[in-house]
Structure 1
Amino acid sequence: MNANTNYEAQVMQMCIDDMKIRSILPKELNLKIFTMESCNRFSGVEHATYLHYIKNASVYFGPGCNNGTSGEVLMNKKSIRVPSYATYLVKNGTIKIVVELSARIGDKQKCAMSIDDCTEHVAHEILPHYWSSQDGSLPVEMPKCGFDGSLCDYSPVYITIGTIVFVVCVILLGICLYKKAKERELYDMTWRIPREQLKLLEHDRKSEIGSISTGSWTEGDKADVRISANQAICNSVKVSYKRFQQNRNLTFSKPELAKLKELKFVENENLNKLFGICFNQQNEFLVAWVLCQRGSLEDVIFNTDIKISRNFQVSFAKDVVKGLYFLHNSPIKYHGLLCIQNCLVDSSWSIKLTNFGTEEIIANKLKHNEIRPFNMGSKIKKKSEEKEAENNDKDGKERKRSNREQDDEDDEDDESNINIFDNAKDVRSITDKKYLQQAPEIIRELINAKFLPPGSQSADIYALGMVLYQVLFKLDPFYEREDSPNKIMTMIALAGEDDKIIRPTFPNQQTLQTADGEESYNLQLLSCIEACWLEIPEMRPNIKRIRTLVNANLKSTSSGTLVDQMMKMLEDYTTNLEQTVRSRTILLEEAQAQADRLLKSMLPASIAEDLKVGRSVAPQLYASATILFSDIRGFTQISSTSTPFQVVNFLNEMFSGFDAIIAKHDAYKGKGKFDTWFLEGKNECDTWALGGASRK
């Protein structure tokens, strides 16, 4: 029983193997398909025969593709079938093929080296965008550089990374060196000037501090009295300066040094040049700007001796806008204290903005009590008192010593009374005019902190509106108000939502047109100026918008530059002046002739001619001369019995007779005592006769 069972198991296994082999054998062999029942009938001889066929077939066919009952069959060198595979996706009851792995013969060279490399599987993607890769495609079988990166040469990458790191280090080192060099340039202070090179042109102030006088001048030089700025000379260049006394040695922060360096080298046709700063010498702090020959725009606009036409006003307004436009687009960013006093007029009648940037530095030094305003008035007063004491008092030395002690006390008082008013100038006419043109937010800080706060572009826009107002209308802001500037500033600063906002009012355009004989300004330009005065800084227009509106609405009526227009004005003025001189010369000649006639009627002609040319008249001696004395006999009785008109007519007739005789005989009329007269004739005129009159 057991032997039969083992035998049947062997036959069963043989049949199964036979079916496997048949599936891969070619049809030419015509192998018979056996069933389980037929297998049981085979004998051992048949088994050996099948094994012999199988062995010979495997040796005959070897590795390769063969057509089997199920399709193409791939065999490897071990005569083992290499099947193909497919991956299915079952989802929601549906089956989809994702990818197929097709078996194929591999590279022969690899196969010769290794039996396992004779075949390979090639993937064919069927379902797109299934995989979770970046592009949704099937991942490669092997990464480009292998799973451990050993298949790639990374030396170029390492070299590139090293080069980049080296270059970055070099760049960083260069940046550090550049910053160090720039920092050294900051501390070089190219804008600093020695105090001994600055020669001040100061003059006496007789009436009030800040007023310009034509009195004595120091150091033998004269400043231009038409310009309201303090003047000095440095390296043969005329400059205007602001002067302060130092309380201690000054130092500047890096932002201040950077700003001063930028101010020193800024270049624009509508910006003035910062000449330099003196400090820590002679206990003085001076800020010097290049002096413009024609003074400030205020000196020109409000000078009644200069007739400014509409073309000049248009050019001035455009120059101010262009200068501020450049500042707002430069590293300086803003002016800080724009006003008509800080707009200068140069020799070519161009406007140059000045004092930008330095006012903030000065205010910062004042705030920290590093400097104080220079008290020029007290110094001059004390010097004059010292001179009087030396001239009028024997004890002048003692008084001088006491005055010096009083100076020290005044200096101590000045330290405790530092305010926003610079250079000890007149508070009403100088200082408040500048601050009255500033934005409300700036005025509030001035009133609260007593020092000029940092500026802004919106504050410059407000001040620009004030400057345009003064240039176009030749009027001071708030000219119609009788309040003091301090009170107006307080009203501007304290104006709330319920209070009326105070702003300058435009003059009547009809009256302005009639007075000047020129067209009035259009509403768009006036609206632009009013927009500059808005209370909220963010609502004010920017400088680009203002520049566009000003250029569009302000047109010059004449061609050429301002210099050409000024030359034409000078030509017209010269022509008018020649006509005036000609007419005045005629009048002068007539007046001279009348004076000559009058002089000759009073003096002999020869003496009159000598006096006219400036020669001295020497006494002359004549051998003979005729003198006629006349006297009105009974003049007192005549006067008492006659009316005043009769007396006057009588005297006129008598004197006319004298004058006729004098003119006829070239004689001289002299005045004697009381009512007596005498006539004198020269001895050369021996043929003439003198007549006398005596009326009773």
Structure 2
Amino acid sequence: MLDIIKKESINLDWEFKLSLITDVVKGMRYIHSSPIKKHGWLKSTNCCVDGRWVVKITDYGLTEIFGIYGTKRKMKDEEWLWTAPEHLREETNIYSGSPKGDVYSFSIVMQEIITRDEPYGMLGLSASEILSKVRKPPPLCRPKVSQSEAPPAYLEFMKRAWAESPVMRPTFEEIYQQLRQLNQGKKINIVDHMFKMMEKYSADLEDQVRVRTEELETEKKKTELLIARMLPPVVAETLMSGKPVCPEAFDEVTIYFSDIVGFTTISALSTPFQVVDLLNDLYTMFDSTIDFYDVYKVSVFERFMNVNCKYCTSLLC
């Protein structure tokens, strides 16, 4: 479960988080009602998630085995962050754990799921500093979880679960019943929720594809219009249809270049309005004259190039 919590590419909405929390509660409720009675070493690293997104709790009963064989392996400070304060203060019984200690450990796992951060990660302290503060309050050292990260009712029973006094912590049966009450008796089916999310993503994707297709069609029309303005109609249509434009040879071709002589000087000596009027009149005259002939006009700044040939009327016009 720790890998899922830390992997940012996995989108965990509240339904997913609540499903993980509920599965941990169900598993611990079963362990506490069984002959084992306690886990003693609950943390996110021994909560595994299977292919159907169901949490499976492992490593239960190990504290009893350690007790029988007198095994005490050296532990890193980070491995004690889920341990209840009363057990951290114990020198001889620190490995055994207790049902109320399991509830405290569950509250830290719940913090990890809600915040998608390591235990006490938001405090910015080292593991040894956190353990020292948890062992010897006041002040009370607990994770800080904002109200925006989960519904208030869930944050409330998480805080009850990490109460300093073991007597003040609820049992897993009480937590389970409170979860049922908050969920109004509804069962959380994470697979159905995943299907709903996939349907929503599919609908959103279809909308995005439609919008992008419309944008592409608009840009395509703009490009086609630009090509039609720059090239002869037949050439433009051939290019837009994806066909190659093959060069053709003609026996007789007339190319006429026209230039406004002294245009720079005229512009410098005239007002902007006079220049605009001059160009409007000149272009109107050119266009009306060109309409009487089978030519193709190419404009290059203030110059004109007209092309005419005996057999190219249908190609250029």
Fold match (TM-score > 0.5) = yes
Give the Cα–Cα distance (whole angstroms) in 1 for the partners of residues 132 and 286 of structure 2: 83
Flag the structure with higher strand content.
Answer: 1
Change (3 A) 1:563 1:648: farther
**1:592, 1:568 → 2: CA distance?**
36
Partner amino acid, structure 2, of 1:484: G
CA contact (8 A) 1:316 1:351 kept: yes
1: CA distance, partners of 2:96 / 2:254: 94
Q: Which residue of 2 aligns with 1:155?
A: none
Q: Report the TM-score, using the length of structure 2 for normalisation.
A: 0.67
Gap change, CA 1:539 and 1:618, over 3 Å in 2:
same
Choose which of 93, 102, 105 in structure 2 pairs with 1:463: 105
* 8 Å contact kept, 2:296–2:316: no
Cα-to-partner distance string for 1:169-202 (whole Å, 9 max, x where unaligned)? xxxxxxxxxxxxxxxxxxxxxxxxxxxxxxxxxx
Contact 2:296 2:307 in 1 (8 A): yes
Q: Secondary structure at the match of 2:251?
A: coil
- Displacement of 1:551 after TM fit? 2.7
CA contact 1:478–1:505 (8 Å) conserved in 2: yes
Q: Aligned match of 1:546 in 175, 197, 202?
A: 175
Q: Which amino acid is 1:322 matched to?
A: K
Residue 597 (structure 1) aligned to one of 225, 228, 235? 225
- Distance in 2 separating the partners of 1:649 and 1:330: 101
CA apart distance, 1:472 = 5.1
Structure with more of its chain in helix, by fraction: 2
* Structure 1 position 681, deviation (Å): 4.9
Candidates 320, 342, 347, aligned match of 2:24: 320
1:336 is aligned, of 41, 47, 54, to 41
- C-alpha change, 1:604 and 1:548, in structure 2 (3 Å) is same
Helix, strand or coil at the partner of 1:349 = coil
Change (3 A) 1:462 1:588: same
When the two structures are aligned, how many residues end up with a matched partner? 306
What residue is the counterpart of 1:631 in the other structure?
A: 259
Measure, in 2, the Cα distance between the counterparts of 1:465 and 1:437: 8
Matched, 1:507 2:146: yes
- Cα distance change, pair 648–505 in 1 and its aligned pair in 2 (3 A): farther
Q: Measure the CA separation in 1 of the matches of 2:175 and 2:166.
A: 15
- Residue of structure 1 in register with 2:133 after alignment: 494
Cα distance in 2 between the residues matched to 1:560 and 1:499: 39
Aligned partners of 2:133 and 2:141 also within 8 Å: no
Aligned to 1:178: none
Q: What is the identity, as a one-letter code, of the residue corresponding to 1:551?
A: R
> Gapped runs of 5+ residues in structure 2?
none
* Structure exhibiting the larger radius of gyration computed from Cα positions: 1
User: Contact conserved, 1:461 with 1:543, CA < 8 A, in 2?
Assistant: yes
Q: Deviations over 1:508-563 (max 9, x none)?
A: 4xxx4xx99xxx443xx544322321235565444333323333333476x77332
CA 1:542–1:596: 2 relative to 1, 3 Å: same
> Residue 134 of structure 1 aligns with which residue?
none
* Equivalence for 1:531: 160
Q: Contact 2:86/2:135 (CA < 8 Å) preserved in 1? A: no
Distance across 1 between alignment mates of 2:110 and 2:195: 25
TM-score (norm 1): 0.35
Q: Give 1:568's aligned residue.
A: 196
Q: In structure 2, give the amino acid aligned to 1:503.
A: R
| Contact 1:297/1:344, CA 8 A, preserved across alignment | no
537-546 vs 315-324, greater mean Cα deviation:
537-546
Greater relative contact order (Cα 8 A, min sep 6): structure 1 or 2?
Answer: 2
Once the two structures are superposed, the pairs formed by residues 140-179 of structure 1 within 5 Å of their partners are none
Give the Cα separation in 2 of the matches to 1:681 and 1:653.
24
675-684 or 651-660, larger mean C-alpha shift: 651-660
Number of the residue aligned with 1:621: 249
Choose which of 299, 307, 317 in structure 2 pairs with 1:680. Answer: 307
Structure 1 residue 500, shift from structure 2 partner = 0.8
Q: CA deviation at 1:591?
A: 2.0
The answer as to whether partners of 2:83 and 2:101 remain within 8 angstroms in 1 is: yes
Q: Tell me what 1:667 maps to.
A: 296
1:592 shift after superposition: 1.3
8 Å Cα contact 2:5/2:117 also seen in 1: no
| C-alpha separation in 2, matches of 1:562 and 1:532 | 25
d(CA) in 1 for partners of 2:256 and 2:304? 8
Structure 2 counterpart of 1:334, one-letter code: H
Q: How far does the alpha carbon of each residue in 1:137-161 deviate from its partner, in whole angstroms, 9 at most, with x for none?
A: xxxxxxxxxxxxxxxxxxxxxxxxx
> 3-state SS of the aligned residue for 1:628?
strand
Alpha-carbon displacement from aligned partner over 1:47-66 (angstroms, at most 9, x marks no partner): xxxxxxxxxxxxxxxxxxxx
Structure 2: distance between partners of 1:606 and 1:353: 73
User: Aligned pair in 2 of structure 1 residues 333, 680: CA closer, same or farther (>3 Å)?
Assistant: farther
Correspondence list, 1:204-283, <5 A:
none
For 1:337 and 1:477, the matched residues in 2 are separated by: 13
Q: CA deviation at 1:320?
A: 1.7
Letter in 1 for 2:52: S
Unmatched 5+ residue regions in structure 1? 1-226, 230-295, 368-418, 422-431, 691-696
Q: Which residue of 1 is the match for residue 54 of structure 2?
A: 350
Q: Map of 1:92-103 to 2, 5 A cutoff?
A: none
Any idea what SS the aligned residue of 2:146 has?
coil
Where does 1:396-407 land on structure 2 (aligned, <5 Å)? none
Retained in 2: the 8 A contact 1:667–1:682?
no
Q: Output one character per residue of 1:424-473: Cα deviation in whole Å (capped at 9) or x when no partner.
A: xxxxxxxx6x865554467789xx9xxxx746344432231123345457
Conserved? CA contact 1:444–1:493, under 8 Å: no
CA contact (8 A) 2:85 2:134 kept: no
SS at match of 1:601: helix
Amino acid at match of 2:129: T
In structure 2, what is the Cα distance between the partners aligned to 1:312 and 1:353? 17
Report the 3-state secondary structure (helix = DSSP H, G, I; strand = E; otherwise coil) of the residue aligned with 1:500.
Answer: coil
